[in-house]
Structure 1
Amino acid sequence: METTPKNNARIVAIVVMFFIYAMISFVTNLAAPIGTIWGYQFEGNSVLGMMGNMMNFLAYLFMGIPAGNMLVRIGYKKTALWALAVGVVGLFVQFLSSIVGTETVVTTFSSTNAEGIATSFPITLNFFIYLLGAFICGFCVCMLNTVVNPMLNLLGGGGNRGNQLLQFGGALNSLSGTLTPLFVGMLIGVLSKQTQIGAVNPLLFLGIGIFAVAFIILSFVSIPEPNLSNGRKIKYSHSPWNFRHTVLGVIGIFFYVGIEIGIPGTLNFYLADQSANGAGVEGQASAIAGAIVAVYWLFMLVGRTLSGFISGSVSSRSQLIAVSSTAIILIILAIFIPKTTTFPVPEFLYEGGAQVPVSAFLLILCGLCTSIMWGGIFNLAVEGLGKYTAQASGIFMMMVVGGVMPLIQNAIAKASGYMTSYWLVVAMLAYLLYYGLIGSKNVNTAIPVSEDTPDALDL
């Protein structure tokens, strides 16, 4: 059982893991821009347009624990290879949706628009083929995430160095996530009802090619296997659920996903809403909102990069406490500052001299805070788990379903106003602050975590 790779092999392994981290974002962020094509096909129905994105994240719920078990049974390397193969299949199925079933009507969807006018339109077979492809790709990114997070933490030796690698990997993830929608936009051009899903086929082929090359390279790379059971069925005397700091960290990841998505998502609606409850942005509100929210994701890239440089000397716990506290302050200020207090949108973001509430600026600054939370929480929650780390990684992947929290925030926004809904985000941030201060301490150090201890029973 290989646990410590030689230095050169370690560097190659780190580079491969960084590459995989970037590919996770590439596959995930294909769903939203491709969804805009379907939205136009379906008379501007945003719900159907976002179904691919939902299928992508729903896969995490089903694949999280099985992926963790795969790490134990077949190891990190083989799990990653299977994930890359699944990714090729998922992208190919999405390609098939551009040529198969384009004329076959499966059902008719009816809805009522904002003016109360009922509309209906056919949904063809190729849409369901696309959703299947998005779901399969969700399996791929869940498996890759399950591999890359504990592996980077392991290659860094855990602690500060482990978190440092996680943050650098996260920075590449953010960069890939920022570039992917731009590439899709270049391929689509001017979006209209005549735009077909086939417009993004070049990007799907690129993804298939990258996965294939990554599969070949990874096949020859030595990856440490600290928890490999060599195919044996093993039952441990404990599990990740027996560690308090891990359980609290799992809850923290669930809330984190809700925070990361909820802040920019609700802000987008807030700025684009021209009703009395909205921000009242004058001009092309949707374009302005998109430009402002894009800066939030840019700040996430900046924050992860900066954290990567300082994490070798600043602990995950200190960083989590600092960013949670700062985000709470920023959001509370955003809630209370009157929306009539505005600032001009920089010309490089939007030409036209638009004004947006100062609250929006405070909210996008939170991107600097949320950027380091995933890596920090994961690093703290698996510290001291030893042989239980692989199983814990799978459990963490399930918690990506925390993306449901923005739906609750949206319901609060409709009932009580956009800014009021951010109190939910404050509450979730308060939990992360508690986790950094108290909950992240391992109080279960008496549980044996070494593979050499006699509590792993062959079945």
Structure 2
Amino acid sequence: MAAPLPTLGSRPAGPYVVPTRSYTPALSAVTTLFFLWGFITCLNDILIPYLKAIFQLSYAKANLINLCFFGAYFLMSIPAGKVVARLGYKRGMLLGFAVAAVGAFLFYPAAAERAYGLFLGALFVLASGITLLQVAANPYVAILGPPESASARLTLTQAFNSLGTTLAPLLGSALILSRLPKLDNATTAAGIDVSAVQLPYLVIGGALLVISLILSRINLPVITQVPDEDYAAAAAHTSARQYRHLMLGVFGIFAYVGAEVAIGSHIVSYLALPSVMGLDPASAGTKITFYWGAAMIGRFAGAYLLNKFSPAKLLAINAVGAIILVLISINTTGGVAMWSLLAVGLMNSLMYPTIFTLAVAGLGRHTAEGSGLLCTAIVGGALVPLLFGAIADHAGLRLALLLPVVCYLYVMWYGLRGSRRVVAGAPALVAPPIALV
């Protein structure tokens, strides 16, 4: 049997010595990453209605933005996991910053050429860099401290991610949607000024490079696995894919991200419906702030609650709350329909960090690989909204909202049953000790 896992940050008895230290500076540095990629991701909710109007796209075609952005997670997450395993967490994050900055700068020529395809290509490059950041930063935060508080720790850093998603709609509406020109059927893309997206993404690219430079000068703890002979023998023929709770967590991330993005990406269009609020795009865009702001509040509160209550049970409760709120919105009109849908953001708040930490629990040396698999599942943010858009084109936005309900039903099940730790084809294993040096 493997030796007991020592508490990280303590000085355990036995052959493994983990130095005592404060990880606050490291966590503070990594938290800035969560803020920035939250801001970038939420700008898609502004970009979709803007480019939909500019290029006169259907809901399905407009959701190609989500397909390219979140599709990068599907294609790049496993390679990113290998890069992180080879370069380490810090170098992996630095490389992610560089790639994301290139993608942000590509928005300038895409706007200059007024080509929808180039916008999609720029988004893919940008998302590839963010994927690498996610693969490196999420498990780093989960590992950097006591394992029993991993969900609370990742939830707290995700709260700053939500701060970015809260601010993005306000700035995006002011800088982008407010400059949406009046269009008619005779207008062509070649005659449209799409420069409104150039400056914001140039600033984002510059910010990515600045934060990368700052991070490169901060001494972050280096995480290495301390070998344990008994554990190594037991785990010699295993891989991350053999952990049942991890693989079910992959589907959990897929369902959660798909539901969250599908709702967030269509709030502007939903609030524009006469039966809801009949708002213009700029006014509706500012309301997205309440959706992501509720998630931010929930995550700050969750950082406390997850230290007091079972993360799995809180996950299931939040999923039930999301289902109830979406159903209320579907069956009501006016302010009730609007605020009930925006309140779903509060229910979303704990889902990603809780699913992630429940899924990587006990993976030990397979943590980087597991993180890559989980980030691959973020492709749900590409596929679910695409299906959502197709349903909306044929049956309307209200009926399309039943798709997120199905996603939240799975998240509820994962919290109640799927997150229980069992290793497929092998006895349950205890993760090997982790040293921070």
Is residue 433 from structure 1 mapped to residue 412 from structure 2 by the alignment?
A: yes
Aligned partner of 2:427 among 428, 446, 452: 446
- Could you tell me whether the CA contact under 8 Å between 2:253 and 2:355 is conserved in 1? yes
Local SS of the residue matching 1:97: helix
Q: Deviations over 1:274-318 (max 9, x none)?
A: 4xxxxx246546566545554222211211121123222223112
Q: Equivalents in 2 of 1:3, 1:324: separation in Å?
A: 40
Letter paired with 1:158: P
Is residue 308 from structure 1 mapped to residue 303 from structure 2 by the alignment?
A: yes
Is residue 406 from structure 1 mapped to residue 421 from structure 2 by the alignment?
A: no
Is residue 319 from structure 1 mapped to residue 314 from structure 2 by the alignment?
A: yes
1:113-192 paired onto structure 2 within 5 Å: 127-159=116-148, 161-188=149-176, 189-192=178-181
Greater RCO (Cα-Cα under 8 Å, separation 6 or more)? 2
Q: Deviations over 1:145-190 (max 9, x none)?
A: 111111111113223x211121121111111122234334444453
- Could you tell me whether the CA contact under 8 Å between 1:28 and 1:141 is conserved in 2? no
- State the shift of 1:98 in Å: 4.7
Is residue 64 from structure 1 mapped to residue 77 from structure 2 by the alignment?
A: yes
- 1:25 is matched with 38
Q: Deviations over 1:359-393 (max 9, x none)?
A: 44333222211111001111111111111111011
Q: Deviations over 1:77-114 (max 9, x none)?
A: 11111111112222222234355xx3xxxxxxxxxxxx
Q: Equivalents in 2 of 1:92, 1:393: separation in Å?
A: 28
Question: Which moves more between the two structures, 26-35 or 216-225?
Answer: 26-35
Aligned partner of 2:214 among 191, 212, 217: 217
- Could you tell me whether the CA contact under 8 Å between 2:76 and 2:376 is conserved in 1? yes
Judged with a 3 Å threshold, the aligned counterparts in structure 2 of structure 1 residues 266 and 312 are, in CA distance, closer, same or farther, namely same
Letter paired with 1:272: A
Richer in helix (by share):
2
Is residue 90 from structure 1 mapped to residue 71 from structure 2 by the alignment?
A: no
Letter paired with 1:377: I
Q: Equivalents in 2 of 1:41, 1:332: separation in Å?
A: 32
Aligned partner of 1:77 among 90, 97, 100: 90
1:3-18 paired onto structure 2 within 5 Å: 7-8=21-22, 10-18=23-31
TM-score between the two structures when normalised by the length of structure 2 = 0.80
Judged with a 3 Å threshold, the aligned counterparts in structure 2 of structure 1 residues 397 and 3 are, in CA distance, closer, same or farther, namely farther
Root mean square deviation of aligned Cα: 3.3
- 1:277 is matched with none
Judged with a 3 Å threshold, the aligned counterparts in structure 2 of structure 1 residues 195 and 47 are, in CA distance, closer, same or farther, namely farther
Q: Equivalents in 1 of 2:145, 2:386: separation in Å?
A: 36
Is residue 376 from structure 1 mapped to residue 354 from structure 2 by the alignment?
A: yes
- State the shift of 1:21 in Å: 0.8
Letter paired with 1:298: G
- State the shift of 1:204 in Å: 3.0
- State the shift of 1:237 in Å: 1.9
Letter paired with 2:376: M
Q: Equivalents in 2 of 1:201, 1:438: separation in Å?
A: 47
Aligned residues: 399
TM-score between the two structures when normalised by the length of structure 1 = 0.76
- Could you tell me whether the CA contact under 8 Å between 2:72 and 2:124 is conserved in 1? yes
Q: Equivalents in 2 of 1:138, 1:387: separation in Å?
A: 26
- Could you tell me whether the CA contact under 8 Å between 1:74 and 1:228 is conserved in 2? no
Instruction: Give ranges in structure 2 of 5+ residues lacking alignment.
Output: 1-15, 183-190, 228-234
Is residue 207 from structure 1 mapped to residue 195 from structure 2 by the alignment?
A: no
- State the shift of 1:62 in Å: 0.9
Instruction: Give ranges in structure 1 of 5+ residues lacking alignment.
Output: 103-123, 230-234, 275-279, 343-355, 454-459
Q: Equivalents in 2 of 1:66, 1:179: separation in Å?
A: 31
- 1:107 is matched with none
Q: Equivalents in 2 of 1:128, 1:319: separation in Å?
A: 41
Q: Equivalents in 1 of 2:199, 2:283: separation in Å?
A: 29
Q: Deviations over 1:27-75 (max 9, x none)?
A: 3234443455544543566666654443221211110111111222221
- 1:105 is matched with none
Judged with a 3 Å threshold, the aligned counterparts in structure 2 of structure 1 residues 32 and 328 are, in CA distance, closer, same or farther, namely closer
Aligned partner of 1:296 among 291, 303, 310: 291
